[in-house]
């Protein structure tokens, strides 16, 4: 089973029986995705802190 990455629209493989709040990783953009709904299956981007060496 696949779901489209909301960030880059690449196909992301999902386990046979996903769990709510499970974290997936997109192979293309490396975004972390959280399963926010099981029926219908929906994922959302889990943001990460940005790097800033200029501070």
Partner 1 sequence: MIRVGIVGGAGYIGGELLRLLSGHTEVEIAAVTSSRLAGRRVDGGHPNLRGRTDLAYVSPEDLPECDVLFFTGSTVADREGRAALTARGKIVYDLSPDLRLADPAVYRRHYGEHPAPDLLGTAVVGLPELYRTRLRTADLVSVPGCMATASILALRPLSEAGLLEPAVTVDGRVGSSGSGASAGEMNLHAERSGVLRVFAPLNHRHQAEIAQATGLDVMMTATGVDAVRGVQVLCHATLSEDATEQDLRRLYRAAYQAEPHVRVIAQKRGNYRLPEPKILLGSNYCDVGFAIDPGSRRVLLCGALDNLVKGGAGNAVQCLNIRMGLDESLGLDFPGLHPI
Binding residues vs partner 1 (CB under 8 A): 7-10, 26, 28-32, 45, 48
Q: Least CB distance from residue 15 to partner 1, whole Å? A: 20
CA–CA gap between residue 52 and residue 55 (Å, rounded):
6
Q: How far apart are CA 51 and CA 55, in angstroms?
A: 10
Q: Are 2 and 14 in contact (CB under 8 A)?
A: yes
Q: Which is nearer to partner 1, 28 or 38 (CB)?
A: 28
Which residue number, 30 or 38, has a Cβ lying nearer to partner 1? 30
Smallest separation, CB 29 to partner 1 (Å): 5
């Amino acid at each position: 089973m696949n779901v489209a990455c909301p960030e880059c629209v690449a196909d992301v493989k999902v386990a046979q029986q996903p769990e709510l709040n499970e974290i997936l990783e997109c192979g293309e953009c490396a975004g972390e995705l959280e399963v926010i709904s099981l029926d219908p299956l929906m994922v959302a981007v889990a943001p990460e802190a940005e790097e800033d060496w200029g501070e």
